[in-house]
Amino acid sequence: MDKLRITGGARLHGEIAVSGAKNAALPILCAGLLTAEPLTLSNVPRLNDISTTLRLLGRLGVHAEHGADGTVQLRADKVDSLEAPYELVKTMRASILVLGPLLARFGQARVSLPGGCAIGQRPVDQHIKGLAALGADISIEHGFVVARAQRLKGTTIRTDMVTVTGTENLMMAAVLAEGRTVLDNAAREPEVVDLAELLIKMGARIEGHGTDRIVIEGVERLHGAEHRVTPDRIEAGSFLCAVGAAGGDITLRGAAPGAMGATLAKLEAAGLRLECGPDWIRARMDGRPQPVDIRTQEYPGFATDMQAQMMALNTLADGTSVIVETIFENRYMHVQELCRLGAEIDIDGHTAVVRGVARLSGARVMATDLRASASLVIAGLAAEGQTIIDRIYHLDRGYEQMEVKLRALGAQIERLSGKEPA
Ligand code: UD1
């Protein structure tokens, strides 16, 4: 199993490019199921979650090629299976995103239930409830969601909570439904907007994306399109936390600062000096960060996917901060590992109190989920001595060549492939 070895203390300097957003690319790839015509996508990051999705689409009969330049050519003209098997879905919950498109275009689908997940229960009841409201006949059989419908019929759906992939699944189902669908309490995340923009290029009629009320007029069929995936705001935010912790002066190219308001505001409060253009961010940091309180919220609030990285920055702050996680019930698994590096953090339910320390010290730690891994990298970059992070397959699910990018900024970080570190 690969590990990362970091020798902390190097300041970060230089320029790197931000990758395309994983969480935009995943639903966008699944949208390829909605038409027999080709989709040409660019800025698709080369990540494990993307290859899992391409494998899943391949199982369904979709022809897909991921070029080294980040382009993906998709063609779903010979779909010959309507089943997403357990072994693929269990490794990636977002596989549930094939349910809406398969049902809408082919009138049936069998998708394995995702099962438990490290960061919380994460049920898919809202996806199922919404599709049933669109007229699907849905049952759970042998661990699979089994859905059938002649043609889905537009209706008003109000989800009980704001759900990102739920909104995406229902939007992809509704674009081919008969009549008008209104998604109330819809997610406003930039990744939902990116998916809507692709669907519109494919001929869908959608309004209100980016607000909590999305209105979709169903069409008979969709056609091929070209689309560039929006930049990854979480990857960008993670690098900004890294320079916040390690100090230095970095510039991120191909970024989308306009979608990062909540993160940028907190980083500025922590003491980073930021300059932004339309697609770049420069960040400078000297000295210890200031503590910043965080409460995770749906977009445009502070993203739960940035909580762990921001906590890593707070561990070094000159004072105490309070973090409240409101989206997922079990998203503090990085805390124990950060404490192995010398952080002082207490958890009480959804609240974490972080008492900043003047220095962290390198240690062996274990990655437990995707963003937790990033927080350990950030802490390791600032810690004295050597940090070894085990189980970085979590990191590889969602960060494209993180260690290569960090090395380009002057960090001392290397991947240990399989072998035990000396
Ligand atoms: C997406 C992101 C993930 C991010 C999360 C919250 C992707 C591929 N993943 O995950 O990185 O952390 O949004 O911003 O885009 N819920 C239910 N029933 C449902 C659906 C959701 O109870 O049917 C609950 C969840 O357990 C959670 C909350 O709603 O407590 C929000 O989850 P949701 O927005 O659906 O997260 P994902 O779409 O899975």
Q: Which residues contact 78 (CB under 8 A, 6 or more apart)?
A: 61, 63
Taking the C-alpha atoms of 74, 80, 86 and 89 in order, what is their torsion angle to the nearest 10 degrees?
Answer: 20
* C-alpha 174 – ligand 1 centre gap (Å): 20
Q: Over its length of 422 residues, how does the chain's per-residue pLDDT go in tens digits?
A: 899 999 999 999 999 999 999 999 999 999 999 999 999 999 999 999 999 999 999 999 999 999 989 999 999 999 999 999 999 888 888 999 999 999 999 999 999 988 655 555 678 999 999 999 999 999 999 989 999 999 999 999 999 999 999 999 999 999 999 999 999 999 999 999 999 999 999 999 999 999 999 999 999 999 999 999 999 999 999 999 999 999 999 999 999 999 999 999 999 999 999 999 999 999 999 999 999 999 999 999 999 999 999 999 999 999 999 999 999 988 999 999 999 999 999 999 999 999 999 999 999 999 999 999 999 999 999 999 999 999 999 999 999 999 999 999 999 999 999 766 55
Show the ligand 1 pocket: residues with CB < 6 angstroms.
23, 26, 93-94, 120-127, 161, 163-166, 191, 304-305, 327-328
Q: According to the model, what pLDDT value does residue 123 have? A: 86
Ligand 1 pocket test: pick from 48, 124, 163 the residue with the most ligand atoms within 8 Å of its Cβ: 163
Using the atom order of ligand 1, give the atom closest to the CA of residue 26: 8
Distance CA 149, CA 128 (A): 13
Using the atom order of ligand 1, give the atom closest to the CA of residue 121: 26
Whether 276 is a known active-site residue: answer no
